[in-house]
Chain A
């Protein structure tokens, strides 16, 4: 069993690095290799890269054009006279307010979701009784409840709870709807923690809370990072709850603000594109910083 674990940890990549090419061919790229795969996936990779790069490139160069150049320049050419005026236009407005609102909403919802989901997942994995099965199934089904389907009752609830047009009105439903997927990911991760570790702690006389804090939470760190980044992204980019549950401009989060910009700038496409770029920069920064944790969390697992 221990050899299996070692090989698991070594992973395909390292195998390849250690043994660049062997006659057997199997060790080099253990999953599949050979011409058919390379043609299929390499071709798809090339096409996909172009499909992603061209619109993003266009977005950036357009945001750097003046309004007049936008109508005359060739769309994919580099801007002849690049300008940051569009960014200045956006930043001179209420951008800082929208940004702050987005940060508050995202951090609030993520902290709430991850904390609640970790405890719930541990409880589900630890107690395999009918109640925990039922609650697991409930979250599983929760995965299937479309946000849009329940937005009217949520709107009614938020009004009755006197939270309409506040940031809390976005935080609570966003957290609630991030729970199912978060619990699912954490449960599937916690399930793979070797039972012997729990048993060792129980022998040491540890209760559930100590197990949660000193075994489960540290071991689940990569998974926690993953769900935090994933949930954060969803909430940051969320549009429906802000659209329905807030109305004043000073409560607008960035995605909602983008639609306001469109109304405000009208046909000034470069300014709208500058706002789009600015609204994405924070997520790009988080992604570049947390990429390793995100990928580690998604790919981590323990062998039986």
Chain B
């Protein structure tokens, strides 16, 4: 982990650090408090993280004995065009989702930030997709987009009677749209709370300087939302690796039509739990791990998110 995490910098004690508790209990109680979370996360997070790499070198059908397989799975996975297609679809979903969701979430956050009854009421409505499970959303949209009995059967909406989920060309974009439907409210909320935390004094200073609305947006609001932007983007990008439930339900567990929506997690699931080739599925899963960790390392490096201090700037 240390290699992945980068060299931990020596603890340069900040000036504001609280003095040590008396009686020399500091190390012990701190450790005791950290222990349950560490234990739980190590057992079900870190051990499986290493485990998936080890399992990618074995052959296992999910029930019987686990045998050593060397790099056989890897050779198979890396030379299989299906893997690369799944990887490409994953990247496509990730990038398009980010491009679609960020501006919408920011605009909705800007709209929601001032308090008021209409806005509060709308916010409750906007919350609804957040409350539904991915399975519920998947089943609803699948029925809603059904060309015969779905919304396309409404007079005037016949142009929606396309097989949006059944066409290999459209299915991926339909899935991306439904994903946005599910996740935009959460990110709008992040932006809303970020905007509300911007100190009023900054705007007062700007008003004294005669700054107009556009200047205030560009010079105060957007720069002050830097951390919100990083948080939201990180969650979106990394989260897009995990769009499994929704695609699973929308495609009836196949990642189809054909392989049109078979992103990496689905390819992994189908290989492991339907074709009972856990070794090969673990190799695909390892790709996901590398992808996820690389992405998160990239975004946090870019942002200095690990700084151990308050995130309010300019005051």
Instruction: Give the docked Cα–Cα distance between A126 and B40 (Å).
Output: 21
A299 B196 Cβ-Cβ under 8 A = yes
Is the CB–CB distance between B36 and A119 below 8 Å?
Answer: yes
A-B contact count (CB 8 A): 397
Set of chain B residues within 8 Å of A152, measured between Cβ atoms: 48, 51-52, 55, 268, 272, 278, 281-282, 285
Query: Which B positions have Cβ atoms within 8 angstroms of A?
Result: 1-2, 4-6, 8-11, 13-14, 16-19, 21-23, 25-26, 29-31, 33-34, 36-38, 40-41, 43-49, 51-52, 55, 62, 104, 107-108, 110-116, 122, 124-136, 139-141, 143-144, 146, 149-151, 153-155, 157, 181, 184-185, 189-190, 192-193, 195-201, 203-204, 206-207, 212-214, 216-217, 220-221, 234, 238, 241-242, 244-245, 248-249, 264-265, 268-269, 272-273, 278, 281-282, 285-286, 288-289, 291-293, 295-297, 300, 305-306, 308-312, 315
Specify which of A75, A124, A133 is in contact with B153 (CB 8 Å cutoff): A75
CB neighbours (8 Å) of B134 from chain A are 237, 239, 255
Q: Which of B16, B47, B204 contacts A26 (CB 8 A)?
A: B204
Q: Which of B48, B133, B201, B306 has the most CB of A within 10 A?
A: B133
Residues of A with Cβ closer than 8 Å to B? Answer: 4, 7-8, 10-16, 24-27, 29-34, 36-37, 40-42, 44-45, 48-49, 51-56, 58-59, 62, 70-71, 74-76, 112, 115-117, 119-120, 122-130, 132-157, 172-173, 175-177, 179-180, 183, 188, 191-192, 195, 198-199, 202, 205-209, 212, 233, 236-240, 244, 254-256, 258-259, 262, 269, 272-273, 276, 279-280, 283-284, 287-288, 291, 295, 298-299, 301-304
Known contacts being A13-B114, A173-B44, A301-B197, is A148 close to B288, with CB within 8 Å? yes
Q: Are A30 and B149 in contact (CB under 8 A)?
A: no
A/B interface sample: 26 pairs, CB < 8 A: A10-B200, A12-B196, A26-B204, A31-B113, A31-B216, A40-B107, A71-B149, A120-B33, A126-B18, A141-B1, A144-B238, A145-B45, A146-B242, A149-B286, A150-B45, A153-B48, A156-B55, A157-B44, A177-B45, A179-B37, A199-B19, A207-B25, A208-B26, A237-B133, A272-B143, A299-B197
* Structural contact, B306 and A123, CB atoms closer than 8 A: no
Contact pick for B136, options A32, A37, A49, A280, CB 8 Å: A280
Q: Quick one: closest A residue to B212, CB to CB?
A: A34
Chain B, residue nearest A7 (CB) = B200
Q: Give the residues in chain B near A298, CB-CB below 8 Å.
A: 189-190, 193
B26 with A25: CB separation less than 8 A: no
Q: How far is A54 from B282 in the complex, measured between Cα atoms in Å?
A: 41
Q: Which residues of B contact A8 (CB under 8 A)?
A: 199-200
Query: With A41-B108, A52-B126, A141-B4 known to touch, is A11 a contact of B293 (CB < 8 Å)?
Result: no
CA distance A159 to B40 in the complex (A): 17
Contact partner of A276 (CB less than 8 A), chosen from B140, B305, B308, is B140
Question: B133 contacts A254, CB within 8 Å?
Answer: yes
Alpha-carbon separation in the docked complex, A301 to B128 (Å) = 26
User: Smallest CB-CB separation from B214: which chain A residue?
Assistant: A36
In the bound complex, what is the Cα–Cα distance between A273 and B107 (angstroms)?
31
Question: Is A280 in contact with B43, judged by CB distance below 8 angstroms?
Answer: no
Known: A55-B141, A284-B131. A132 touches B110 (CB 8 A): no
Known: A13-B115, A116-B40, A280-B132. A272 touches B139 (CB 8 A): yes
Bound CA span A100–B28, Å: 39
Whether B48 and A150, one on each chain, are in contact in the complex, defined by CB atoms closer than 8 angstroms, is yes
Query: A249 to chain B: closest CB distance in Å?
Result: 16
Contact A212 B48 (CB under 8 A): no
CB-CB under 8 A from A11, the residues of chain B are 115, 196, 200
Least CB distance, B299 to chain A, in whole angstroms: 9
Complex Cα distance, B17 from A199, in Å, reads 9
Q: Which 8 A-B pairs have the closest CB atoms?
A: A26-B207, A144-B296, A13-B115, A153-B51, A34-B213, A237-B133, A153-B48, A176-B44
* Smallest CB separation, B208 vs chain A (Å): 8
User: Complex Cα distance A45/B110, Å?
Assistant: 10
Closest A residue to B40 using CB positions: A176
Q: Contacts A149-B286, A207-B29, A212-B33; is A135 near B116 (CB within 8 Å)?
A: no
Whether A151 pairs with B285 at a CB distance below 8 angstroms is yes
Tell which of B107, B125, B131, B213 touches A283, judged by Cβ atoms closer than 8 Å.
Answer: B131
CB-contact partner of B289 in A52, A149, A283, under 8 A: A149
Give the Cβ gap from B97 to chain A, nearest Cβ, in Å.
15
Residues of A within 8 A of B269 (CB): 148, 151
Among candidates B16, B49, B124, residue contacting A150 with C-beta atoms closer than 8 Å: B49
Query: What is the distance, in angstroms, from A190's C-beta to the closest C-beta of chain B?
Result: 11
In the bound complex, CA of A205 to CA of B10 (Å): 29
With a cutoff of 8 Å between Cβ atoms, the chain A residues found around residue B221 in the complex are 31-32
CA distance A29 to B212 in the complex (A): 12
Given contacts A119-B34, A135-B34, A137-B306, contact A208 B21 (CB under 8 A): yes
- The chain B residue sitting closest to A291, CB to CB, is B124
Given A137-B8, A153-B47, decide whether A207 and B241 contact each other with a Cβ distance below 8 A: no
Given A52-B129, A191-B308, answer yes or no on A59-B140 (Cβ-Cβ < 8 Å): yes
User: Which one of A130, A173, A283 lies within 8 Å of B11 (CB-CB)?
Assistant: A130
Task: Name the residue of chain B whose CB is nearest to the CB of A195.
Answer: B16
Residues in chain A near residue B55, CB distance under 8 A: 152-153, 156
**How near does chain B come to A8, taking the closest CB pair, in angstroms?**
6
